[in-house]
Every structure is written in structure tokens, then in C-alpha cells.
Amino acid sequence: MTLITTLACRAVYQNADIYLLDDPLSSVDASVGEHILKECILGLLKLKIVLLVTHSTHHLPYASRILIMESGTIKIEGTYDELFRVGEIRKEFNNDGLDEPFSAAQEATPAVPDSKSKDPKVMREVAGRGHVGWSLLWTYLRFGNGFIFIAITGLSAVANQICLSGTDLMLQIW
């Protein structure tokens, strides 16, 4: 969160005419994202041109113009109301939370209300329990080139030990 906040502050202090934001809200939690959207993008930058590239449909109602791209070309263009009225947005995103603007509660689904917090938006994460099977680990290693990494790490450890033992051996012989 600190990096995103720092980058957003640096961008705002530049006082540029045009801001290109490449999905800055995806790496923060829902309440922080909502705060950055409303206070920074819609607040401090309201008189600037802001191009917000995002995959989140929750931010669409706040946009003055929407461009949906596919394979490098503009597939759909218009305002939120125009595209919503003719059904293009619903057809494109399969009704994925498009009725209501962005809210913190919508992105915090795998959580329960935190009884210690006074803020109703604050949610407590629920940790999953269980066992990760060997088949999942095998798949992870296979797709992530893990075998090469393990081999290089193992050979490096053996070479390191040979060098350390070799210096001890050389000191003993000397």
C-alpha cells in the first residue's frame, strides 16, 4: 500500500495535464482502493485528463468515457449510461457487479465481519486449512520450471560446500 500511495502522490505532485494509470487499484484492498479512487482520481485529479486502465468493472460508473479493447483494437466505446442502456456492458461482462458502483464490501467476499473493528467495512480474513497434496506440488514444479531451479540450487550448494571444505583441507595440508 505504501508504494502505491507514494507513486500516486508523486504523480499528483507532478501537476501534469494527462495521467496514465495502469490498474493502480488492483494491488490494494477494497477500502484503500475506494479511498484512492474517490479522493485522488475523482478528487485531486478531477480537472485533469485521467486514462485509467483497469480490469475491474466496479470503476466503470465513474468513467466519463469507456473504451473496451480486444486484440489491440477498440471493440466498444461510449459512456457508461449509453453502454448500460443498450446492454453492451451487461453482454460484455456477464452482469459482473455492474448494477452498483465500487464498494468495499463487494471485493471482500471471502471474509467475515471483524468484531473488534468499529468500521463495518473492515473484514477479517478467513484462513483455509488443509493439506496440499503431492500432485499439486508436482504440477507447480512442472509448470514453474522448478526442476531446473532445484537442480541449480542443489549444484550451487554442493559447489559451495566443496569450496568451503577444500579451503579447510588446504589449510590442514599447508
The answer on pLDDT for 127 being more than 70 is no
Q: Where are the domains of the chain?
A: 2-125, 134-173
Q: In the structure, what pLDDT confidence band is assigned to residue 102 with cuts at 50, 70 and 90?
A: very low
17-37 pLDDT tens trace: 888 888 888 888 888 888 888
User: What is the pTM (predicted TM-score) of this model?
Assistant: 0.49
The answer on pLDDT for 109 being more than 50 is no
Confidence (pLDDT) at 158? 96
Strand partners, 70: 73
Query: Which class does domain 2-125 fall in?
Result: alpha beta
Which has the closest alpha carbon to 41: 12, 68, 17? 12
Confidence (pLDDT) at 128? 64
Contact 51, 83 (CB under 8 A): no
- Other CB atoms within 10 Å distance of the CB of residue 19: 18
- Say how far apart CA 16 and CA 11 lie, in whole Å: 8
C-alpha cell at 139: 504440477
In the block, residue with C-alpha cell 466503470? 60
Contact 37, 17 (CB under 8 A): no
